[in-house]
């Protein structure tokens, strides 16, 4: 089975992945959520994220709020950081399409595209997302960092899974619908 690029994040009811200052305090992970995350990441062996998400991830790891991920290849797409190893990640630049095609040719599990924002927009613009996995939390933030910033062409998806959880959140999984000529 070919590797897929899965864009996944937690989001508020009004579409924000973080508060304006980048804080994720509204995303409450309970035992049920931890089990769900463990199951999801058991099918992933590669992560791709932007610089801002990488900085937030590094801070969470330093504080012991996020476990290390041994055996996971972690890539950061950045125009500011120099390519190469950087704080537990490999920084890459250049063509996203060429990079993703190279990753997909390698044997392995699926590829997780973490975070939202500019990198999410770039992946959607270049039609590199095969699946969406969105956790919707039962909260309206009123302001924050949008999960899907605008300025990308329409992309069609098909709902493949919808689960509700005891804390009031909902897990949604969508598969990219592509025409025969794509």
Given a cut of 80, is residue 56 above it in pLDDT?
no
Measured CA to CA in angstroms, residue 104 lies from 17, 50, 52, 115, 161 at distances of 27, 19, 24, 20, 24
CA 52/CA 68 separation, integer angstroms: 18
If one compares 7 and 115, the residue with the highest pLDDT of the two is: 7
Distance CA 46, CA 39 (A): 15
Write down the pTM of the prediction. 0.89
In a domain, 143, yes or no: no
* Beta strand 84-86 pairing with 89-92: antiparallel
Is the confidence at residue 30, as pLDDT, over 90? no
Summarize the confidence of residues 34-52 as an average pLDDT.
88
Domain assignment present for residue 3? The answer is no
Residue 156 falls inside a structural domain = no
- Per the structure, the complete domain to which residue 61 belongs is given by 8-125
Binning pLDDT at 50, 70 and 90, where does residue 89 land? Answer: confident
> Residue 163 falls within a domain, yes or no?
no
Domain with residue 115: its CATH number is: 3.40.430.10
Kindly tell me if the per-residue pLDDT of 67 is higher than 80.
no
Confidence of residue 66 (pLDDT cuts 50, 70, 90): low
Number of domains the chain contains: 1
Is residue 102, in this structure, part of any structural domain at all?
yes
In-domain check, residue 25: yes
- Give domain status of residue 30, yes or no: yes
Query: Does residue 23 lie in a domain region?
Result: yes
């Amino acid at each position: 089975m070919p590797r897929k690029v899965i864009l996944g994040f937690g989001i508020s009811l009004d579409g924000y992945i973080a508060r304006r200052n980048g804080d994720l305090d509204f995303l409450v992970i309970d035992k049920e959520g931890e089990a769900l995350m463990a199951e999801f990441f058991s099918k992933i062996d590669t992560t791709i994220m932007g610089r801002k998400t990488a900085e937030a991830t590094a801070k969470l790891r330093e504080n012991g709020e996020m476990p290390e991920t041994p055996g996971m290849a972690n890539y950061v797409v950045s125009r500011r950081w120099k390519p190469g190893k950087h704080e537990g990640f490999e920084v890459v630049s250049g063509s996203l399409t060429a990079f993703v095609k190279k990753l997909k040719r390698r044997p392995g599990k699926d590829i997780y595209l973490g975070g939202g924002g500019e990198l999410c927009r770039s992946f959607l613009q270049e039609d590199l997302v095969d699946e969406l996995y969105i956790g919707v939390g039962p909260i309206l933030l009123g302001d924050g960092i949008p999960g899907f910033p605008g300025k990308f062409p329409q992309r069609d998806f098909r709902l493949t899974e919808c689960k509700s959880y005891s804390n009031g959140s909902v897990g949604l999984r969508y598969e990219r619908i592509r025409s025969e000529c794509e």
